[in-house]
């Protein structure tokens, strides 16, 4: 297939109210003059971004307030996004994390993480890939995962597990669709200086400007480029790529122990 084109077509972005999702939406509008459907829980932030993009770049932007932990919101997202318009690309970026000791991770919080990071992504990937095949051949889906899914990551045990699922699901589904007029890209960033890191607590150790930490806009540019090129598995940043290569030759137990030493210092003290 040719490179994916976004100009004059609709791209859906979930988790678009801040961080990586917001920056990817800006790039689609600014650099590619693509129309957008923005999805997140915080409608005020979505509307502010939509107004900015409409004014600055003359694109059409629609907003959908939705919580990916709620099955009815996930279903409604697809229905509203495709009502009266065709979606050519879907960037499934919404995600939540938990940083802390695994035995202290409440099961309700874990269930919400599973719904957001896994269940909603699988459902929306299936629906939008089918939609693109029938309504907009040549489009694509991008699943935003994490390097935490490439190795067992202590103190992010459940999060790491959900991202490992996405890595394998996205790669396998992409292989199934080889030869079909739709592509699946798995985007696998490492540390990004975003609001999510500050909320989770990892920001106590990993800060903007640190080695290995990418700015959200830089990371977003690589993500959109990977989508356009129809790359199957994209790890942004030379250091992250090198780390991934080295981990392939590192025993799993040793890799996990190394990750534990890195993250342990960022844990809050026990009461």
Annotated catalytic residues are 159
Cα(first)–Cα(last) distance of the chain, in Å? 56
* Strand ranges inside 168-231, DSSP E: 182-187, 192-193, 214-215
Q: What share of the chain is helix, strand, coil (3-state, %, to 5)?
A: 50, 15, 35
**Residue 142 near residue 92, CB atoms below 8 Å:** yes
**Distance from C-alpha of 6 to C-alpha of 87, rounded to nearest angstrom:** 10
Q: Is 208 exposed, middle or buried (0-12, 13-18, 19+ CB in 10 A)?
A: middle
**Distance from C-alpha of 120 to C-alpha of 125, rounded to nearest angstrom:** 8
């Amino acid at each position: 297939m040719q490179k994916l084109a976004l100009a004059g077509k609709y791209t859906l972005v979930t988790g678009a109210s801040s961080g990586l999702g917001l920056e990817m939406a800006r790039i689609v509008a600014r650099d590619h003059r693509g129309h957008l459907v923005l999805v997140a829980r915080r409608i005020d932030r979505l509307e502010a971004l939509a107004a900015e993009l409409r004014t600055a770049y003359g694109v059409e932007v629609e907003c959908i307030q939705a919580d990916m932990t709620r099955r009815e919101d996930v279903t409604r997202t697809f229905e509203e996004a495709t009502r009266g318009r065709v979606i050519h690309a879907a960037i499934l970026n919404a995600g939540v994390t938990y940083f802390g000791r695994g035995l202290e991770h409440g099961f309700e919080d874990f269930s919400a993480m599973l719904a957001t990071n896994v269940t909603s992504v699988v459902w929306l990937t299936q629906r939008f890939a089918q939609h693109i095949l029938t309504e907009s051949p040549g489009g694509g889906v991008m699943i935003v995962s994490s390097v935490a899914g490439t190795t067992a990551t202590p103190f992010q045990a459940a999060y790491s597990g959900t991202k490992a699922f996405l890595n394998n699901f996205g790669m396998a589904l992409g292989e199934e669709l080889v030869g079909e007029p739709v592509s699946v890209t798995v985007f696998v960033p490492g540390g990004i200086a975003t609001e999510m890191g500050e909320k989770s607590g990892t920001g106590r150790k990993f800060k903007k400007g640190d080695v290995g930490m990418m700015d959200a806009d830089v990371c977003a540019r690589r993500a959109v480029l990977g989508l356009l090129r129809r790359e199957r598995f994209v790890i942004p940043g030379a250091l992250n790529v090198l780390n991934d290569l080295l981990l392939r030759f590192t025993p799993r137990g040793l890799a996990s122990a190394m990750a534990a030493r890195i993250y342990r210092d960022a844990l809050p003290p026990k009461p």
